[in-house]
Amino acid sequence: MNTVIKNGIVISMDPKLPRVLRGDIAIEGKKIVSVGDIPAGFTADRTIDAENSIVLPGIINAHCHLSMVLLRNYADDLDLFTWLNEKIWPIEEKMTESQVYNSSLLGAAELIRSGVTSFADMYFFQPETCKAVEQAGIRARIGAPFMGDEETIEKKLPALQKLYDEWNGRDGRINVDSAPHAPYTLTPGALQMAIKFAKDNNCRIHIHVSESKQETEENYEKHRVSPVEYLEKAGLFEHPTYAAHCVQLNEEDLDILKKNGVYPVHNPTSNLKLGNGFAPIPAMLEMGIHPALGTDGASSNNNLNMFEEIHLAAIIHKASTGDPKAVSAYQALQMATIFGAEALGLDDVCGSLTPGKEADIIMVDTNKTHLQPLHNPVATISYGAQASDVHFVMCAGEVLMEKGVVNTIDEKEVIRRVSEDSAALMGEASSI
C-alpha cells in the first residue's frame, strides 16, 4: 500500500534535511520514499492528514525490562542493592511464563502509547516477550540473559541458543542479543560464555555497566580496575555493545568507551530514583560518543514513558553542570531516535525519517494548551510534550495506533489479566 502523510511539521532527525520542515512523507509498503515533497507520479492508496501534528521518527527505548511492569510500584524508595537483593530478585523467582506474556503485552501497549516503535529488552521467559512483540507490531532486540557461574550458564545455553535460532530475524522486527546482566552478577568464566555466545551468533551485547557507586567500588576491590576497564580486558568490547547506565565513570572509562565504539544508554529517571547519580552525558557528547536513551524497568522508573526521559535528559545535566547548554533539546531528541538506532544496530532501518529507511513514524498532537504557541517544534517535544500527546504510531509501514486507539492489543483484556496476575504474585510475595 502506498501512503502519504500530509501537512505535517516534520522533525526528520536526518542531518541532510532541514531540522524542521513543513511537508509530506510518501511511503511505499514498509519504506519511506520521500520527505518534504511527493515524487511526481506517486499515487497514494491512503492519505493521512498530519495537520496540527509534529511528525517524528518512532522513539527508541534502548534499555528496558518490559514485563517488569508487573512489579510497577512494588518496591520504591530503596537503594539499588537493597531493591535488588531484598525485593526484586526474590519475587522474580516466583514469576511465571504466562505472567511475563501478559505483562509484555501491557508493556508493549504502554510503549506504543508513548510513541516507541523499537526497544531493547533484558528479562525472563524471553519467548513469551517475543510472542507479545510479534503481536504488538513493534521492533525489539531481546536479550538472551547470562547471570551466575559457569555451571548455571551451561545448563541454560541450549535454551538461549534455541531462543536465538527461533526468533532472531523474525518478521524483520525481532533480533536476539547476548545479555550478560552485569560484571558483578557473572563469574569471569560465565562472562566469557556470554561473549562467546555473541561471537558465535554474530550478535550485539547488552549489559548493565557502572550503575552505582557501590558497584564500582566493589569492582575495584575485587578486580583492581573499574567495571569498564574490567570488561575491556575481558574482551567484551570487541563485539558491538550497548551498555545501560554508565553513571559512575572516570576519564579513562570514557576513553575506553570512545575507543571501542560502545554506546552508553542513559536512564535518567531510574538513576535519579535509585540515587545513583548523573551519567556524564555532556562529556560523552563533547567526545563524540553517542549515548542512547532508555526507561529501565517499570519497577525502578515507574513507567515506560520515553517523553519523560527525553525531558530529563535535556534538563538535569544543565543543573548538574551549571551549564544551560550542557545538553540541548535537539541532542536529547537524538538520544531517543538516531543515537538509539545506532546503539541497537538499526540505524540503516530506523531512527530518522530518511528515504530508503522503513516507515517508523509517530505524530504528536500540537493542538493542546500546554504545547501552544508553537515557536520551536524541537523544544516543544523535548521540554513540553507528553506521551499522551502521541496520537498516531506506525512501524514498518503498519499503523499500530491511530487517533489514540491501539490497533494490535486489546488493552482492556490485557489490563484484566495483569491485574489477576498481580494479585496472585503479591500473594506469593507475602511468603518472602
CB 294 within 8 A of CB 266: yes
Query: Scanning the structure block, which residue is given the C-alpha cell 517524528?
Result: 56
- DSSP-assigned states of every residue in 109-156: HHHHHTTEEEEEE--SSHHHHHHHHHHHT-EEEEEEEE-B-HHHHHHH
Do both 290 and 329 map to the same domain?
Answer: yes
How many structural domains compose the chain?
2
pLDDT of residue 430: 64
Task: Read off the amino acid at residue 375.
Answer: H
Tell me the three cell numbers of residue 112: 506504543
Do both 10 and 107 map to the same domain?
Answer: no
Do both 162 and 53 map to the same domain?
Answer: no
Q: 270: which residues sit within 8 A by CB, 6+ positions away?
A: 245, 276, 295, 296, 297, 300, 301
- Helix, strand, coil content of the chain in percent (nearest 5): 45, 20, 35
What is the length of the chain? 432
CB 66 within 8 A of CB 103: yes
Closest listed residue to residue 226, CA positions, set 239, 236, 217: 217
69 within domain boundaries: yes
Domain CATH code at residue 307: 3.20.20.140
| 0.85 exceeded by pTM | yes
Do both 99 and 147 map to the same domain?
Answer: yes
Q: Is 58 helix (H, G, I), strand (E, B) or coil?
A: coil
Closest listed residue to residue 147, CA positions, set 166, 164, 160: 160
Instruction: Print burial letters for 333-360: b (CB count within 10 Å at least 16), e (below 16).
Output: bbbbbbbbbbbbbbbebbbbbbbebbbb
Tell me the three cell numbers of residue 99: 505472567
Do both 248 and 388 map to the same domain?
Answer: no
For residue 82, the enclosing domain spans 59-343
Q: 49: which residues sit within 8 A by CB, 6+ positions away?
A: 6, 7
In angstroms, what CA-CA distances link 172 with 176, 346, 349? 12, 11, 10
End position of a domain, from candidates 320, 343, 366:
343
173 within domain boundaries: yes
Tell me the chain's radius of gyration from C-alpha atoms: 21
pLDDT of residue 65: 97
429 within domain boundaries: no
Dist. CA 267–CA 230, nearest whole Å: 22
218 within domain boundaries: yes
> Which residues are registered as beta bridge partners of 23?
8
Helix (H) or strand (E) holding 399: strand 398-402
What are the average pLDDT values for consecutive 10-residue runs of the chain, which has 432 residues? 96 96 97 95 96 98 96 85 85 91 98 98 96 98 97 97 97 97 96 98 98 95 97 98 98 98 98 95 98 95 97 97 98 98 98 98 98 97 98 98 97 97 83 60
Q: Is 415 helix (H, G, I), strand (E, B) or coil?
A: helix
Q: What is the Cα 401 distance to its own chain's centre? A: 19
Closest listed residue to residue 109, CA positions, set 135, 74, 130, 128: 135
Do both 387 and 270 map to the same domain?
Answer: no
Do both 46 and 149 map to the same domain?
Answer: no
Do both 202 and 228 map to the same domain?
Answer: yes
387 within domain boundaries: yes
CA angle centred on 161, ends 155 and 165, rounded to 5°: 155
Tell me the three cell numbers of residue 33: 520514499
Q: Which long-range contacts (CB under 8 A, 24 or more apart) does 422-426 make?
A: 422/70, 424/99, 425/70, 425/91, 425/94, 425/95, 425/99, 426/74
End position of a domain, from candidates 315, 343, 371:
343
431 within domain boundaries: no
Do both 37 and 154 map to the same domain?
Answer: no
pLDDT of residue 90: 86
How close are the terminal C-alpha atoms of the chain, in Å? 54
CB 115 within 8 A of CB 58: yes
pLDDT of residue 79: 86
CB 203 within 8 A of CB 167: no
- DSSP-assigned states of every residue in 363-397: EEE--SGGG-S-S-HHHIIIII--GGGEEEEEETT
End position of a domain, from candidates 343, 378, 397:
343
Which pairing describes strands 53-57 and 2-10: parallel, antiparallel, or unpaired? parallel
Instruction: Print burial letters for 396-420: b (CB count within 10 Å at least 16), e (below 16).
Output: bbbbbbeeeebebbeeeebeebbee
Domain CATH code at residue 385: 2.30.40.10
400 within domain boundaries: yes
415 within domain boundaries: no
